[in-house]
A and B are shown apart, each in its own frame.
Chain A
């Protein structure tokens, strides 16, 4: 449930609450209409999500002024994120003044201007797309007239998607989709607009601010990684324990099965996108699995499920088990259950997890879940589809480990091999994604975009290391990145050291250090300096450098550690290397 505008305003104006421990984000907001209420709503939603905004809001209708003048406030403020809001309303006013032939170029000119902005504005740009205004000057025939406003706006929105592909720093905030969902009359209030130049209704501001913060939070590493689903009356109609695997409602023949089939397709798409699917059901495990194995109408298969828990225990306890297996935080999970009682128990016991208040009618599930926009992201690679498989393989390793009493015997028997390479066009998306997603094994939590990673790879002051890991069970893919920076002839600095949580306790840290030390010694360096920047989530690496034999540098804030490479002896890691 989103807070109303007046709640958000109250949150922003609170003087009694201490926000000094919240992370600060520098944001610029440029608009060609009145943005004052939007900035209040945005600040409020940011505070609700744990961020304090240091906001530069340009004066009314100053987009061109700010963007085209290199000495403007926009450039000196130098925000991490610049929100640019060209309104459809102002675009229509511009269109109205154009002669007929000129109207043909409206979309192209807008695109050209936006492309120019992508090259000059620093940081990430979040651009609103254009909710349609159907002026009905041509009726539906507008679809057949290239100079109609409808034709130009649709062309513009379509081409915006294309330029996003070319500009990795450009992100679209899809207000056009919001208007589709909630309606034009919801988004635009004519009488208030006439008096205030506000083209967005007050009712729409919390939703628009929420979509903006969804993007910003994703870029800051706060996003959903896992969806936990109940089974009975959630992904099929009826109760499998009573009805049997043949009679649960799915598919187009039985009862309301259609609703559940379509819901399963949505979950399947999430899995293909890299979201981990887990099952948490109150059932006997063998009965719960039967439809997956035997019912031909099922869309989801057991291969789609990374962790399958069906028993009669408390769901909050089961979710804790899921969390421990997957090694992700509760705030990156979504829990879907048709039973309000179960939902409340989970909400009360696990406040950080997101529990949508599913509507009573399964026919309404999807549109409701769509409206929550749960799975915003700022990266996607075709390798994401393998994520579930990798978590399943991990579950197998956990079972295998139980056979060994000595950890070193277990590690030796895994036959681990790591491929070490630099960053290249193949792995750059995954490298950037790792820097954006990883919160726990992350020494300095610096988030890099693909463009920034490519620049580092080409910069001679840096040495880049990308590590994959495979073992007798399978591939883990790229699981560790190290970025080293030359400080002097004798010293290199560890700018970034990030490891995926999937491979903790395998000896990868030792292997990585050995690789770093080997590179350093071969290139004439005799000191390595590492730094630990504490966050709420990276406590596990607070003592990493000490454990690896570094010495803490006195009075360093944030804490820095130094390793003297004279007399360095690599420790055993049980991982064999393979260099590319």
Chain B
């Protein structure tokens, strides 16, 4: 899957988890950009992302991303390996 499609899918997940259809994300989006994104909802996001993309992140990976683009890259690498 290419990055653009992954980010589109991530945007759907964000809107679902935050219950807000006015959320727009791109590869540069960071946690500070979205009001409802805190450590609690971060875990929920990860949980939903794992389910939708059928991947599992390691404990290190969950701490490693600086922005959405980096999360998307991890997802893409895992999906390519499948």
Stretch at the interface among A128-136, A190-198, A553-561: A190-198
B40 touches A36 (CB 8 A): yes
Q: For A196, give its contact among B17, B43, B48 (CB under 8 Å).
A: B43
Q: Are B47's CB and A190's CB within 8 A?
A: no
Q: Does B57 lie at the interface of the complex (its beta carbon under 8 Å from any beta carbon of A)?
A: yes
B59/A194 in contact, CB under 8 A: yes
Residues on A with beta carbons closer than 8 Å to the beta carbon of B48: 6
Asked whether, in the complex, the Cβ of A191 is within 8 Å of the Cβ of B19, the reply is: no
| A9: B residues at CB distance < 8 A | 44
Contact of A6 among B16, B46, B63 (CB under 8 A): B16
Query: Chain B 33-53, CB within 8 Å of chain A: the 1/0 string?
Result: 000000110011011100000
B62 and A191 contacting across the interface, CB-CB below 8 Å: yes
Beta-carbon contact of B57 and A6 below 8 Å: no
For window 35-52 of A, CB contacts with B under 8 Å fall at 36-37
- Give the secondary structure class of B's interface: helix
Instruction: Please name all residues of chain B whose beta carbon is closer than 8 Å to the beta carbon of A194 when the two chains form the complex.
Output: 59
- Is B58 in the interface zone, CB < 8 Å from A? yes
How long is the Cα–Cα vector from A431 to B17 in the complex, in angstroms? 48
With CB as the reference atom, state the residue of chain B lying closest to A202: B47
Which of A5, A6, A195, A198 interacts with B62 by CB under 8 Å? Answer: A195
Q: How far is the CA of A140 from the CA of B44 in the complex (A)?
A: 37
Docked complex Cα distance between A198 and B19 (Å): 23
- Cβ of A13 within 8 Å of any chain B Cβ, yes or no, is yes
Q: Does A191 lie within 8 Å of B56, measured CB to CB?
A: yes
Q: Report yes or no: B17 in contact with A192, Cβ–Cβ below 8 A.
A: no
Contact, CB under 8 Å: B40 / A191: no
Bound form: Cα–Cα A37–B39 in Å? 12
B59 — which chain A residues lie within 8 A by C-beta? 190-192, 194-195
Q: Point out the residue from B19, B39, B58 that lies within 8 Å of A10, measured CB to CB.
A: B19
Residues of A within 8 Å of B, CB-based: how many?
15
Instruction: Quote the shortest CB–CB distance from B34 to chain A (angstroms).
Output: 16
Nearest A residue to B41 via CB reads A9
Residues in B neighbouring A37, C-beta threshold 8 A: 40, 43
| A191–B62 alpha-carbon span in the complex (Å) | 9
User: What residue in chain B is nearest A194 (Cβ atoms)?
Assistant: B59
Q: What is the CB-to-nearest-CB distance from B12 to chain A, in angstroms, rounded to a whole number?
A: 13
Closest CB in chain A relative to B51 CB, distance in Å: 9
In the complex, chain A residues whose CB is within 8 Å of the CB of B56:
191
B58's closest neighbor in chain A, by CB? A191
- C-alpha gap A284/B43 in the complex (Å): 58
Give chain A residues whose Cβ lies under 8 Å from the Cβ of B39: 196
Q: Complex formed: what's the CA distance from A37 to B40 in Å?
A: 8
Given the complex, which residues of A lie within 8 Å of B44, measured CB to CB? 5-6, 9, 202
Closest-by-CB residue of A relative to B17 is A6
Which residues on A sit within 8 Å (CB–CB) of B46?
192
- Separation in Å of the A89 CB from the closest CB of chain B? 15
Q: Which residues of chain B (3-61) have a CB below 8 Å from chain A? A: 16-17, 19, 39-40, 43-44, 46-48, 56-59
Are A195 and B17 CB-contacts (below 8 A) given A6-B48, A190-B59? no
* Nearest neighbor of B46 in chain A, beta-carbon distance: A192
- The CB with the most chain B CB atoms within 10 A, among A36, A192, A198, is that of A192
Q: In the docked arrangement, what's the CA distance between A231 and B62, Å?
A: 53
Report B-chain residues with C-beta under 8 Å of the C-beta of A36.
Answer: 40
Chain A residues close to B by CB (< 8 Å): 5-6, 9-10, 13, 36-37, 190-192, 194-196, 198, 202
List of 7 A-B pairs having minimum Cβ-Cβ separation, nearest first: A194-B59, A191-B59, A202-B47, A195-B62, A195-B59, A196-B43, A191-B58
- Cross-chain pairs A/B with CB under 8 angstroms, 18 sampled: A5-B44, A6-B16, A6-B17, A6-B44, A9-B44, A10-B19, A36-B40, A37-B43, A191-B58, A192-B43, A192-B46, A192-B47, A195-B43, A195-B59, A195-B62, A195-B63, A198-B43, A202-B44
